[in-house]
């Protein structure tokens, strides 16, 4: 016990950590899949892949953080939002490849373990995993006194999913003439917060509870809207519109590429799947831009180029699709309660993204 007391004097509360981790089971049981083996708390999470229905299974992994959106959680105490954000961001990153999410792990680093923060983040992650049919299989909570400021923490998430090898959506079949379908975002999602908060709070001197000009919410509510999860609707679209045995051909398929619009905007993300002999021409007037971006541009003086490089501008995902299926696809997503727009086309080119209005 002496060692534990000395550790507590150094700022690490082992008993509190054990107590909080013991209360995790209710969240983890809500975010569980049949393939998960054993109980939470082991040195590693166990997932039985032998139950997979895939003939040529390929594991797909991704890791990411929430970035400076965490500052908004610290300011407002709304820690469940960033818990949702980290899961949904990672799920979307693998969904564009056609992958089904299997399990998720988190890392939370704090100076001093704060129960309300910890429980809020875990509750948000659990709810997002449950909606994504993804197991919250484990994680790590590190107490590092003096490393983080009081009341602050870092949050990182890692996901593993699975996809049939022949059904990986890679963009290989994209060609000139294809349409670009944009799925609406819920605001900034998890990117661009360093610039947005500097402009809104330092330059324009807004406060969190000030009304958002042109909107129906406060500045704080607009900034804390959770990152949307597109995975369920996207997987349903793959099943409905792609019937060929392989995603690398056009016949029998209508979705040839998908892009998660995160940091870097259109120009930084679309070229990841755009063939080198194609350009993506974006009509930036084809969808309604959320008011938060108008404030940043019109009042904050952020230029057109900076806006479209740092933010998603109201489009969280872009699909490269057959022109014949574009209309039906927009109708499908709208019935799935996702706003969808025809925002441009693929042309002959050199792998660039061209923004017009």
Instruction: Write out the residue limits of the CATH 3.90.650.10 domain(s) in the chain.
Output: 179-356
Round to whole Å and give the CA distance between 226 and 188.
9
Instruction: List the alpha helices (DSSP H) in 242-313.
Output: 265-269, 291-294, 304-310
Helix, strand, or coil (residue 339): coil
What does residue 162 show for φ and ψ, rounded to 5 degrees?
A: -145, 145
Per residue in 83-127, pLDDT (tens digit) is 999 999 999 999 999 999 999 999 999 988 888 899 999 999 999
CATH tag for 2-165 (out of 3.50.50.60, 2.40.240.10, 3.30.1330.10, 2.40.50.100)? 3.30.1330.10
What does residue 195 show for φ and ψ, rounded to 5 degrees?
A: -70, -45
Instruction: Write out the residue limits of the CATH 3.30.1330.10 domain(s) in the chain.
Output: 2-165
Per-residue confidence of the chain (357 residues) as pLDDT tens digits?
Answer: 455 555 455 555 555 555 555 556 666 667 788 888 877 667 788 889 988 889 999 999 999 999 999 999 999 999 999 999 999 999 999 999 999 999 999 999 998 888 889 999 999 999 999 999 999 998 888 889 889 998 999 999 999 999 999 999 999 999 999 999 999 999 999 999 999 999 999 999 999 999 999 989 999 999 999 999 999 999 999 999 999 999 999 999 999 999 999 999 999 999 999 999 999 999 999 999 999 999 999 999 999 999 999 999 999 999 999 999 999 999 999 999 999 999 999 999 999 999 987
Quick one: CATH architecture of 179-356?
Alpha-Beta Complex (3.90)
């Amino acid at each position: 016990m002496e060692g534990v007391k000395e550790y507590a004097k150094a700022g690490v509360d082992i008993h509190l950590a054990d107590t909080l981790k013991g209360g995790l089971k209710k969240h983890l049981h809500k975010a569980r899949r049949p393939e998960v083996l054993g109980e939470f708390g082991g040195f590693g999470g166990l997932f039985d892949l032998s139950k997979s229905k895939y003939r040529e299974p390929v594991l797909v992994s991704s890791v990411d953080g929430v970035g400076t959106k965490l500052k908004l959680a610290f300011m407002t105490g709304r820690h469940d939002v960033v818990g949702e954000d980290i899961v949904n961001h990672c799920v979307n990153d693998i969904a564009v490849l056609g992958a089904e999410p299997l399990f998720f792990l988190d890392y939370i680093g704090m100076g001093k373990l704060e129960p309300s923060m910890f429980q809020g983040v875990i509750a948000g992650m659990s709810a997002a995993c449950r909606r994504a049919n993804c197991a919250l299989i484990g994680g790590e909570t590190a107490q590092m006194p003096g490393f983080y400021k009081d009341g602050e923490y870092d949050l990182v998430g890692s996901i593993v999913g699975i996809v049939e090898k022949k059904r990986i959506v890679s963009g290989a079949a994209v060609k000139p003439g294809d349409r670009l379908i944009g799925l609406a975002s819920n605001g900034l999602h998890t990117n661009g917060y360093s610039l947005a908060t500097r402009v809104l709070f330092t330059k324009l001197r807004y406060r969190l509870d000030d009304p958002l000009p042109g909107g129906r919410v406060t500045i704080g509510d607009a900034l804390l809207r959770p990152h949307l999860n597109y995975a369920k609707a996207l997987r349903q679209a793959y099943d409905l519109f792609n019937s060929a045995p392989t995603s690398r051909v056009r016949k029998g398929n209508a979705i040839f590429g998908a892009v998660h619009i995160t940091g870097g905007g259109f120009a930084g993300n679309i070229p990841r799947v755009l063939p080198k002999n194609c350009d993506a021409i974006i009509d930036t007037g084809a969808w309604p831009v959320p008011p938060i971006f108008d404030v940043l541009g019109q009042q904050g003086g952020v230029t057109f180029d900076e806006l479209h490089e740092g933010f998603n501008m109201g489009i969280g995902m872009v699909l490269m699709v057959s022109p014949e299926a574009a209309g039906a696809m927009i109708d499908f997503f709208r019935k799935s309660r996702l706003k969808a727009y025809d925002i441009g086309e693929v042309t002959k080119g050199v792998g660039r993204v061209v923004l017009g209005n």
